[in-house]
Amino acid sequence: MTDEQWQKLIDVIKGELFEPLPVGFVIDSPWLPGWAGISTMDYYCSDQKWLDANLSAVNTFTDIIFLPGFWAEFGMCTEPSAFGTKCRWSENNLPFAEKIISDIKDVHELKKPNPQTDGLLPFVINRLKSHQEQIEQSGHKIRFAVSRGPLNIATFLMGTTEFLTAIITNPDETDCLLSMITDFIIDWLQLQKQTFTSIDGIFILDDIVGFLGPDDFRKTALPHLKRIYTSFNAAVKFFHNDASGLVCAPSLSEMEVNLFNFSPDHSLLQIKELTNNKVSLLGNIPPRDVLAAGTPDDISKHANSMLEPLEDKSRIIVSCGGGMPPDVTTENINAVLQAVRDNR
């Protein structure tokens, strides 16, 4: 992200209104390799191909804010790998982390990982360190400390159904697991911040939050998420949950979140109201059915229909409801830019 883009992001969060509205997307390995014409395996294994793909994106779409920007990640295996999960790899599909907990009562046997030495995390840090100079020579900087959230990591360690069941059947063990994962995430974020002084943002991704009811969210998830977001001062505190966002939206300010990317099932107006217009919103074009599968005309119509009900268009960054999905074309991305320029 360039200095100009970063300042625009900060200004949006402060409530400044831009015309045309800014456009931004979360981009990572589901989209970038295919768009850049390389395999998913090459994207993960080749530092140079990873760098070239990211440089190509930021140079092709200079008017788009890409978040977090130059994301060094290994899909959903990134954080679970530090706990010792087996990572399964495929040439053109995303990797998968196998669970390592067969019984919630075994959580006491897990040890908190060291992000400096464990799993794939040292490779993430080294990739960014190795290319920091080239990233900065391109006019960009490393802006975000990034991690999957505690519930997301927990489901990879023990399985989604098993974890959600344990919230009800074994609340003490569940809280013990989430507390340890949260301690690890804070260590991981702080390592990134200490390594790259240009970082002034926190980016947490946790879709499992959307599977909880209001009471379970406040009891099980909120305390841990709040502790993460208050672990160090940051100008941007970004949360991604593209499952149901209604349960967490009213609590985002309490979590100190000031930027939210959410499900395409919810309108911008609905989330704006639930957050009392205190949180900037990144959305909300349906990623698969419109951005990837639609035509430029479909995109234009949807952009107009989602923006038209908004009397107040402050704290809005036009995007899709979630990360950039596979198979989105350059033509369709440019169609989003044009639709926003036409909607004034």
298 touches 337 (CB < 8 A)? no
> What's residue 70's pLDDT?
98
Mind listing the pLDDT tens digit for each residue in 85-124? 999 999 999 999 999 999 998 898 899 999 999 999 999 9
275 touches 249 (CB < 8 A)? yes
> What's residue 343's pLDDT?
82
Mind listing the pLDDT tens digit for each residue in 298-339? 999 999 999 999 999 999 999 999 999 999 999 999 999 999
Of 144, 164, 156, residue with least CA distance to 181 = 156
Give the Cα separation of 223 and 335 in Å (integer).
40
Peptide bond into 92 cis (omega under 30): no
Total tally of structural domains belonging to the chain:
1
Q: Could you tell me the CA-to-CA distances from 73 to 123, 245, 253 in Å, in that order?
A: 9, 24, 28
Q: Which domain holds residue 87?
A: 3-342
Locus of tokens 């989602």? 306
Q: Could you tell me the CA-to-CA distances from 145 to 67, 124, 234, 258, 288 in Å, in that order?
A: 11, 11, 10, 15, 27
Within the chain, which residues score under 50 in pLDDT?
none
| Full-model pTM | 0.97
Question: How many Cβ atoms are within 10 Å of 290's Cβ, its own excluded?
Answer: 21
What tokens were used for 135?
């990233």
Give the Cα separation of 71 and 77 in Å (integer).
14
Locus of tokens 């979590």? 255
Of 264, 303, 260, 261, residue with least CA distance to 278 = 260
CATH number for the domain harbouring residue 11: 3.20.20.210
Locus of tokens 């040439």? 91
Of 178, 181, 201, residue with least CA distance to 71 = 201
> What's residue 200's pLDDT?
98
> What's residue 31's pLDDT?
98
Average pLDDT in the chain: 96
Query: Percent of the chain beyond pLDDT 70?
Result: 100
